[in-house]
């Protein structure tokens, strides 16, 4: 059983990651336990991603508290929200009325990350599926956390081709300085870049089948209809953030290379990840069996 903090910018594929987490915390597969959800800007501003996290908590019946995190990157202004991908409300323009929302927990996300990790040394894995600002703030405020986590798993990076520029992936590009600090810190990092996630597609046909298979499948179908339009050429949508969680539960679905990773923090390659000369070794999930991963996702949530 892995104890997790999910650092997230919900986000349609972030919502699918929470749906997957909920299933992996049930009696049938008690392998992931969610301790807290921490939010960050990214797919929308942080007010919106925090509201979305609180809405998903209520909608999915999760008990983990939500803590609001960074509104801006460490050193540069926040970029525009990708409304063409995640909708005006960040959750595929799903109707968010109905569920009464509890307030976010008190304290900033990075402070709660520090408290939780210090309280359970070497037990907690941080799974980061948004920009890495909260993790960098936690490291700056408490460098000891690097030695106290069980691991850090990140959806982010691109070695071949980016998705927001030809070179860079969104989560890294949204705060490259934070990513550089996080990848240079002495903690055990697993990186799940676009090179692996782009093959992990929930096809429209399979989403249609899921919609007939109960509440969770209907939710996965409904929330991905707008998001799938952004991936029209794939006839489906990419399970980026789900792949980060599956790299914990089904590591055999990935090919992994272990090497230092650098992040470009200036120039036209801003946010690009590349193999580094020195620094801590990072486990990079360089390729995935995307068909098996997508099947595993469907079978888990259905
Ligand atoms: O590049 C894909 C990543 O950017 C995913 O985490 C998605 O949710 C967006 O944040
Ligand atoms: Ca995300």
- Over residues 15-33, mean pLDDT: 90
Domain annotation covers residue 291:
no
Give the lowest-confidence range in 82-96, 186-200, 284-298: 82-96
Q: What is the per-residue pLDDT across 91-120, written as a single tens digit (0 to 9) for each?
A: 999 999 876 789 999 999 999 999 999 999
What's the number of domains the chain is made of? 1
Domain annotation covers residue 139:
yes
Range of the domain at 127: 2-198+240-285
Domain annotation covers residue 230:
no
Report pLDDT for 256. Answer: 98
Measured from the CB, is residue 129 less than 6 Å from ligand 1? yes
Report pLDDT for 85. Answer: 85
Measured from the CB, is residue 241 less than 6 Å from ligand 1? yes
User: With pLDDT > 90 as the criterion, what percentage of the chain qualifies?
Assistant: 89
Domain annotation covers residue 56:
yes
Ligand 1 atom closest to Cα of 86?
A: 8
- Over residues 277-296, mean pLDDT: 97
Q: Which of 110, 173, 240, 296 is catalytic?
A: 240
- Over residues 225-243, mean pLDDT: 91
Measured from the CB, is residue 43 less than 6 Å from ligand 1? yes
Mean pLDDT, the chain, whole residue set:
96
Give the lowest-confidence range in 38-47, 51-60, 223-232, 237-246: 223-232
The ligand with the least distance to the CA atom of 165 is 1
Measured from the CB, is residue 195 less than 6 Å from ligand 1? no
Cβ(246)–Cβ(293) below 8 Å:
yes
Cβ(151)–Cβ(285) below 8 Å:
no
Domain annotation covers residue 206:
no
Q: Is 9 a catalytic residue?
A: yes
Report pLDDT for 240. Answer: 98
Domain annotation covers residue 252:
yes
User: What is the 240 CA–ligand 1 centroid distance (Å)?
Assistant: 6
What CATH code is carried by the domain that includes residue 76? 3.90.245.10
Ligand 1 atom closest to Cα of 10?
A: 8
Report pLDDT for 119. Answer: 98
- Kindly indicate the confidence band of residue 80, based on its pLDDT and cuts at 50, 70 and 90: confident
Residue 26 has pLDDT above 90, yes or no: no
**Any idea how long the chain is?**
302
Domain annotation covers residue 141:
yes
Report pLDDT for 124. Answer: 98
Q: What is the per-residue pLDDT across 199-217, written as a single tens digit (0 to 9) for each?
A: 999 999 999 999 999 999 9
User: What is the 123 CA–ligand 2 centroid distance (Å)?
Assistant: 24
Domain annotation covers residue 36:
yes
């Amino acid at each position: 059983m892995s104890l997790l903090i999910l650092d997230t910018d919900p986000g349609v594929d972030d919502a699918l990651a929470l749906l997957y987490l909920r299933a992996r915390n049930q009696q049938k597969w008690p392998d992931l336990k969610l301790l807290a959800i921490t939010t960050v800007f990214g797919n929308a501003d942080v007010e919106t991603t925090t509201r979305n996290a609180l809405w998903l908590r209520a909608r999915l019946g999760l008990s983990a508290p939500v803590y609001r995190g960074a509104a801006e990157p460490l050193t540069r202004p926040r970029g525009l929200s990708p409304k063409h991908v995640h909708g005006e409300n960040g959750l595929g323009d799903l109707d968010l009325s109905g569920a009464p929302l509890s307030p976010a927990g008190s304290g900033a996300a990075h402070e709660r990350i520090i408290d939780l990790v210090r309280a359970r040394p070497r037990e907690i894995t941080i799974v980061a599926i948004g920009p890495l600002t909260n993790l960098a703030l936690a490291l700056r405020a408490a460098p000891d956390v690097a030695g106290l986590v069980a691991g850090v798993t990140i959806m982010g990076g691109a070695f071949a081709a980016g998705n927001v520029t030809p070179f860079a992936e969104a989560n890294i590009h949204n705060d490259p300085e934070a990513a550089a600090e996080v990848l240079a810190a002495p903690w055990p990092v697993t990186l799940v870049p676009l090179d692996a996630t782009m093959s992990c597609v929930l096809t429209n046909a399979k989403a249609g089948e899921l919609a007939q298979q109960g509440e969770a499948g209907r939710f996965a179908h409904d929330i991905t209809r707008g998001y799938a339009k952004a991936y029209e050429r794939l006839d489906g949508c990419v399970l980026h953030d789900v792949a980060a969680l599956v790299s914990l539960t089904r590591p055999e679905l990935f090919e992994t290379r272990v090497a230092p990773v650098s992040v470009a923090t200036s120039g036209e390659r801003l946010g690009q990840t590349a193999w580094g000369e020195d620094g801590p070794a990072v486990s990079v999930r360089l390729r995935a069996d995307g068909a098996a991963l997508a099947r595993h996702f469907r079978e888990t949530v259905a």
